[in-house]
Chain A
Amino acid sequence: MIALLARDLKLALRAGGGFGLGLAFFLIVIVLVPLGVGPEGALLSRIAPGILWVAALLACLLSLDRIFALDYEDGSLDLLATAPIPLEGVVTMKALAHWLTTGLPLVLASPVLGLLMNLPAAGYGWLVLSLALGTPALSVIGTFGAALTVGLKRGGLLLSLLVLPLYVPTLIFGAEVVKRGAVGQAVETPLLLMAGITAGAAALLPFASAGALRINLR
């Protein structure tokens, strides 16, 4: 399974691998929003948590359909399904590779982009923490969506429609953490709820994803 993770990371970093796609999208959105909204510091700080989280979520969504589509097209997925690795392990590694190449860069870049959005100083720690706890759920849920739509031509639209409603709780709680943290309110409740969603998704969804893959490979 480590071999699979290493291969996926290597593929993502090679030419055409899609590493940096989500990060570039995140960067562009956050740079454009202040230009569109105008230079009002107070307004920007008020919308910063929501905009940062929505941009991070859309950036995650952008690369989801690559998770299984490429392996399906070149036949690797069939061969992986007959390999001695359990399919649940395969989808877990796929989700982890997606998070390492998409979610983690977003987490690391978010403080810099928070500056562009005039995020209050108290919010930076919570922004990084909430993204670090929330983006794994986005990757795991997204992997489930990708497993459901693998093999469909142009499944990207269907994938977005399937996955976006499942992203909503993470988005609400994640943005809430940053919003409350920035003004010094208590953040425990939304933070714990979001961490719970991530833990539950990571524990349960690999089984659902593996089941969906088995049916789609028939």
Chain B
Amino acid sequence: MDLTVTDLAVARGGLPVLEGVSFTLSPGRALVLRGPNGIGKTTLLRTLAGLQPPLAGQMSLPPEAIAYASHSDGLKATLTVTENLTFWARVFGTGEIGAALETMNLTQLADRHAQNLSAGQKRRLGLARLLVAGRPVWMLDEPTVSLDVDSVALFAGVIRRHLAQGGSALIATHIDLGLPEAEVLDLGPFKARAPGQGGLQGAFDEAFL
């Protein structure tokens, strides 16, 4: 299942930020999105994940194939690590969390409340959700924020295993993940032109939302 994106244009807050984005992501491959702050990496990922409609263009995969990991981890402070992860496992219909806890090095924290975790431990728990989602395409938005060096290496190994199992990953990041095999897509050239210079008009009603 290739993810093919053709001539995609995305908008944030009614203003077009990226246009003409085209790429193909095959199973077993990882693609790293790069670009300065505000170029539209998060907006592109949210559009692909189905959280907002694109301004123009097509994508070949339905959002149901995509597991999206945003900046925030979606953890509940008063639930334990196990309860947080079990909830997502049940929502995604997979149910088994033991392997995910083991992989993300969380087994010893299983009965800890999420409010007592450090920022890096929370991040690991947030990323463990990808493992219980059971979806082939991972969309990761700055996955390594607040992770230490060992955890970054651990997570790079997790991504590599996911790729080896026929999955794929689209990663927006500023740092080197230690995945030399990943291709890099610089979003700089896709910056949307102003409407006066032939760029797309933003959706009119969105300016009021």
Chain A residues with CB under 8 Å of chain B are 2-4, 7, 10-11, 14-17, 74-76, 78-85, 215, 217-218
Interface size on B, residues (CB 8 A): 30
The reply to whether A217 and B79 form a contact with Cβ atoms under 8 Å apart is no
Closest Cβ neighbor of A17 among chain B residues: B78
The reply to whether B83 and A79 form a contact with Cβ atoms under 8 Å apart is no
Q: A10-B83, A11-B76, A15-B78 are in contact. Are A79 and B129 (CB under 8 A)?
A: yes
Separation in Å of the A92 CB from the closest CB of chain B? 15
The reply to whether B91 and A85 form a contact with Cβ atoms under 8 Å apart is yes
CB interface residues, B 45-63, toward A, < 8 Å: 46, 49-53, 63
Separation in Å of the B26 CB from the closest CB of chain A? 22
Separation in Å of the A101 CB from the closest CB of chain B? 14
B interface, by DSSP: helix, strand, loop or mixed?
Answer: loop
- Cβ of B75 < 8 Å from any Cβ of A? yes
The reply to whether B78 and A78 form a contact with Cβ atoms under 8 Å apart is no
Closest Cβ neighbor of B43 among chain A residues: A218
The reply to whether B50 and A82 form a contact with Cβ atoms under 8 Å apart is yes
Closest Cβ neighbor of A217 among chain B residues: B51
Bound complex: CA A16 to CA B113 (Å): 14
Separation in Å of the B61 CB from the closest CB of chain A? 13
Chosen A-B contacts, 16 in total, with CB atoms closer than 8 Å, are A3-B87, A7-B87, A10-B79, A11-B79, A14-B78, A16-B78, A17-B78, A74-B73, A74-B74, A74-B75, A78-B51, A78-B74, A79-B74, A83-B88, A84-B64, A84-B92
Separation in Å of the B104 CB from the closest CB of chain A? 17
- From B49, B52, B74, B88, A75 is in contact (CB under 8 Å) with B74
Closest Cβ neighbor of A90 among chain B residues: B91
- Cβ of B66 < 8 Å from any Cβ of A? yes
- From B51, B206, B209, A81 is in contact (CB under 8 Å) with B51
Q: In the assembled complex, which residues on chain B have CB atoms less than 8 Å from the CB atom of A81?
A: 50-51
- From B46, B71, B209, A215 is in contact (CB under 8 Å) with B209
Q: In the assembled complex, which residues on chain A have CB atoms less than 8 Å from the CB atom of B71?
A: 75
Q: In the assembled complex, which residues on chain A have CB atoms less than 8 Å from the CB atom of B206?
A: 218
Bound complex: CA A14 to CA B115 (Å): 13
- Cβ of B70 < 8 Å from any Cβ of A? yes
CB interface residues, B 93-138, toward A, < 8 Å: 93, 129
Separation in Å of the B95 CB from the closest CB of chain A? 10
Bound complex: CA A217 to CA B72 (Å): 14
The reply to whether A76 and B76 form a contact with Cβ atoms under 8 Å apart is yes
